[in-house]
Structure 1
Amino acid sequence: MPNPIRKVVVAGGGTAGWMSAALLKKVLPQLEIELVESPDIGTIGVGEATIPPIQTFNQFLGLDEKAFLRETHGTIKLAIAFENWRVPDETYYHTFGAPGATLGFCGFQHFWLRAKQAGLSQSLWDFDLNYLSCKAGKFNKIQTDNPVYQMGYAYHFDSSLYGQFLRRLAEQAGVKRVEGTIAHVAQNAQTGFIEALQLQDGTQLKGDLFIDCTGMRGLLLQQALGVPYEDWSHWLCADSALAVPSQRHATSAPYTRSIAHKVGWQWRIPLTHRNGNGIVYSSSYMDESTAHDTLMGNLDTEALDTPRTIRFKTGRTTRQWAKNVVGIGLSSGFLEPLESTSIHLIQSGIVRLLKMFPNQGINPSAQTLYNQDSQQEYETIRDFIILHYHLNERTDSDFWQDMQRLTLPDRLAQKIAAFKDTATVFNEHNDMFRDASWVQVMMGQGITPTGYHPSADEHSDTAILDIMGKIYHAKQQPLSQMLSHDDFLARFTTVK
């Protein structure tokens, strides 16, 4: 007979640990929750850019958005600008908006392709309010139910400060924090289930369910339980990163910059007290010294520290939930931060657990569903990242040309082929990136579909251009009412 879950032990702090502890306690306040973290073990701490579902997480916890932005030195994120990815000296945007408007049975891109045939001069992005706001450096909250004017947004923030912010909230709610280093993992001799974590000072933390937030060490899931790691480096060969903070710009852009170099790419993330910078690269194509020089030579503000090295292997554990351990965050897998998915995977992992929480004990059927769901989510994000690399047309290095020759996962190859032929995107249930995201990246990386949906042909040339003109002007209207990004932050976060 399975034992009911009465106590949860979270192994590890940082963003993953405190997001997990805070949400568990909020949803299931009757649970006893202990979190153990060591001041001697650092966190990766490069997840400073997010995607819009973080708003739902914060709102559910009852976080005040103004206080959150103040205390984490946060800024608004409307998009990612991809520079040099298709070819050098070219930029496209992956925004959190959706170009155009709903015009019928099929997506806006079908009508835009039809309008291009009729002589339309504007790009797809000229019909995207998020893009227009990025180019103008503006933002404001628009209170409307009209989807034409809705702007999806996320945040840039200091992830270490976010963890501290959540820690205060969780401890106030009753989460017990224990400081110490895990020295031994005690397992049941018959079942292999974890029974307790023994700390270096001899303290034992017993529990019914354990959340592994120990980062890439995977202390519980991988080391203690021996769950294998599925290596995806044959698709995504980057295995190293260097990260360094620099002085903030005089003005803060409301988007992340992803700048492709001869090998790999560089991120630039604006915060209110500094910029976050880093370079992601493959050690098979570039040594650390060259990566260091590339990063430091492409900072546009003064460095505030020396670069920190991060090593990783892209992939995932074959199970995120094994026995009575659930891996949350980097303990369960790593995908490079190209599309800012690291913090979201923490969020989705803990939400998934709460949706099928084992109140009466560990149930194999729930574990199976959890692991299937998690696998599909990881794989669809993996495919989306591969898409950026594969659809490049660069000729300046073996790295980019080898990316062009990748043998793609079947699902991704089919998705690309369908879009090339019909301009249609088909998404899986757990694909966090919806149609507009795939459309923007595929078109930004150089795909122009050869066909479009027949319903777009119901309009004459004059009619389709008239429709596009009205949408274009509608998208322009809110810009004059917006504040500069920095003015918005200053006014919104000022304590009154």
Structure 2
Amino acid sequence: MPQTIQNVVIAGGGTAGWMTAALLRRVLSPTIRIELVESEQIGIVGVGEATIPPIQTFNQFLGIDEKAFLRETHATIKLAIKFENWKTQGDSYYHTFGAPGTTMGFCSFHHYWLKAKQAGLAQSLWDFDLNYLSCLQGKFNKINTPNPLYEMQYAYHFDSALYGQFLRKTAEQAGVVRTEGIIEYVQQDPDSGFITALQLTNGQQIQGDLFIDCTGLSGLLIQQALGVSYEDWSHWLPADSAQAVPSERFDKTLPYTRSIAHRVGWQWRIPLTHRNGNGIVYSSQYLSDDEAGQTLLNNLDTKALDTPRTIRFKTGRTDQQWCKNVVAIGLSSGFLEPLESTSIHLIQSGIVRLMKMFPNQGISQAMVDLYNAESKDEFETIRDFIILHYHVNQRDDSDFWRDMRNMAIPDRLAQKIAAFEDTAAIFNEQSDIFRDASWVQVMMGQGLDPKDYHPAADAMDNAQLMDAMQQIYKAKQQPLDKLMNHDEFIKRYTA
């Protein structure tokens, strides 16, 4: 085992590899060598074309110019995900990056809204959400104000392959060494089991002290070489297949992702400036590949630009995402379907966690254990959030949806649902990347109606509360006239 880390080797490129390389080079001492091994012959999965707001922090830390990033990755703005047919066929709701209303007292806004609704309030919870109102009008603009009432959190849709190339340019300019080649086998120390080098098919050996596994679903280092087991979550999330296909761009680019539930699984529609990203996620136990591909093609809004390609996966995570001197980042660390656009965020959080715990003077088992515990919690909270969408459904048109509604769910999620149904309470773990408003929107959007609200909302009488609600509602409408058509914003901002 090395006493100091002098050579970091990243196995695999793509979004995961180049995000890792770019951040490591930005943070670490220039005396630490960073080398990335990838092959142009190996394809990239590339289903993660939608993101959540923390991607802005990542790009800003790297010093990336947002306008250049938007141009080079054909990116658009993402304010929300619109979930269609998830509760029942024909029903829809939005999960936005905003939070409805504003701070009104001790408890969250939705408690006041629940009381006002009982008193006859006509507006929905979403009518108090600026992100939602902007989605309805297809508008966006940067609102420069410290007033939290007008906060409009956003993320991006982008071409993940182009993002990888964009980051590669950034990383190589900063000093990351790229080596072209295919890994033939992995050399390990016979005593410690630590990886010492990667042997390439051309005979070249890439030696390192710390290895980052960005080899995707194959988990070449963490699973194949080190034999780390995989925790299978398919009993909760049985989807094991996806098909993806690009199509021609829309005339009008929506500032949100669409997630459309079908008889088995769901379909994504992601708007870019040069094309649309489309795909279907499904379980092969319930649906054949041919049926899934036909469903996807039958439900495109624009002409397909290729034939659908199939991706196989098993939902779950590696039991240790850091083992010996290997850290798994990206799909090698686990797979969660892209229902809430968390794939790229999990790459980002994995790298940031490694940077906080970087083993400068040698690898400490205590640090490894802490890294793995935090990664486990993060994966499990996202897993539970995704299960929530499937489990809280009212569809009765297929065995798939009935089975998802009737399945046993993780205890922590069951407690969270019960608490919300009783008193509209949301209790989140420290590692949860989703705010209270996210859980509230999905729970209410899919038909969970709390029996009660927090008693703090009773500090206002009905007349005071209804007046306050109308003032907030009017305030949320005010910025809409100042927003631009989404396409116009992209055109002007990136010109």
Q: Which residue of 1 aligns with 2:222?
A: 221
Q: 1:57-111 deviations in whole A, cap 9, x for unaligned? A: 0000000000000000000000000000000001100000000000011000100
Give the aligned length.
494
Q: 1:209-231 deviations in whole A, cap 9, x for unaligned? A: 00000000000000000000000
Task: Tell me, yes or no, if structure 1 residue 27 matches structure 2 residue 27.
Answer: yes
Q: Which residue of 2 aligns with 1:174?
A: 175
Q: Which residue of 2 aligns with 1:302?
A: 303
Q: Which residue of 1 aligns with 2:270?
A: 269
Amino acid at match of 2:455: P
Supply the distance in 1 between the matched residues of 2:422 and 2:319 (Cα, whole angstroms): 34
Supply the distance in 1 between the matched residues of 2:185 and 2:458 (Cα, whole angstroms): 67
Supply the distance in 1 between the matched residues of 2:123 and 2:449 (Cα, whole angstroms): 15
SS in structure 1 at match of 2:161: helix
Shift of 1:367: 0.2
Q: 1:366-399 deviations in whole A, cap 9, x for unaligned? A: 0000000000000000000000000000000000
Q: Which residue of 2 aligns with 1:16?
A: 16
Task: Tell me, yes or no, if structure 1 residue 4 matches structure 2 residue 9.
Answer: no
1:237-248 alignment, distance < 5 Å: 237-248=238-249
Task: Tell me, yes or no, if structure 1 residue 311 matches structure 2 residue 312.
Answer: yes
Supply the distance in 2 between the matched residues of 1:81 and 1:445 (Cα, whole angstroms): 12
Shift of 1:40: 1.2
Supply the distance in 2 between the matched residues of 1:396 and 1:70 (Cα, whole angstroms): 43
Instruction: Indicate if the aligned counterparts of 2:222 and 2:327 stay in contact, CA closer than 8 A.
Output: yes
Q: 1:468-489 deviations in whole A, cap 9, x for unaligned? A: 0000000000000000000000
Instruction: Indicate if the aligned counterparts of 2:240 and 2:315 stay in contact, CA closer than 8 A.
Output: yes
Supply the distance in 2 between the matched residues of 1:32 and 1:362 (Cα, whole angstroms): 17
Amino-acid identity (%):
72
Q: Which runs of 4+ in 1 moved over 3 A?
A: none
1:385-400 alignment, distance < 5 Å: 385-400=386-401
SS in structure 2 at match of 1:211: strand
1:341-352 alignment, distance < 5 Å: 341-352=342-353
SS in structure 1 at match of 2:184: strand
TM-score by length of 2: 0.99
SS in structure 2 at match of 1:452: coil
Supply the distance in 2 between the matched residues of 1:251 and 1:353 (Cα, whole angstroms): 40
Shift of 1:182: 0.2
Supply the distance in 2 between the matched residues of 1:268 and 1:70 (Cα, whole angstroms): 20
Supply the distance in 2 between the matched residues of 1:41 and 1:362 (Cα, whole angstroms): 31
SS in structure 2 at match of 1:470: helix
Shift of 1:2: 4.8
1:300-339 alignment, distance < 5 Å: 300-339=301-340
Supply the distance in 2 between the matched residues of 1:390 and 1:308 (Cα, whole angstroms): 28
1:183-222 alignment, distance < 5 Å: 183-222=184-223
SS in structure 2 at match of 1:88: coil
Q: 1:374-432 deviations in whole A, cap 9, x for unaligned? A: 00000000000000000000000000000001101000000000000111101001000
SS in structure 1 at match of 2:409: coil
Amino acid at match of 1:180: G
Supply the distance in 1 between the matched residues of 2:92 and 2:310 (Cα, whole angstroms): 28
Supply the distance in 1 between the matched residues of 2:100 and 2:301 (Cα, whole angstroms): 31
Q: Which residue of 2 aligns with 1:45?
A: 46
Supply the distance in 1 between the matched residues of 2:84 and 2:67 (Cα, whole angstroms): 31
SS in structure 2 at match of 1:198: strand
User: What is the alpha-carbon root mean square deviation over aligned residues?
Assistant: 0.6
Shift of 1:29: 3.6
Supply the distance in 2 between the matched residues of 1:429 and 1:119 (Cα, whole angstroms): 36
Supply the distance in 2 between the matched residues of 1:165 and 1:492 (Cα, whole angstroms): 19
Q: 1:7-33 deviations in whole A, cap 9, x for unaligned? A: 100000000000000000000142200
SS in structure 2 at match of 1:429: coil
SS in structure 1 at match of 2:165: helix
Supply the distance in 1 between the matched residues of 2:41 and 2:310 (Cα, whole angstroms): 17
Supply the distance in 2 between the matched residues of 1:453 and 1:341 (Cα, whole angstroms): 31
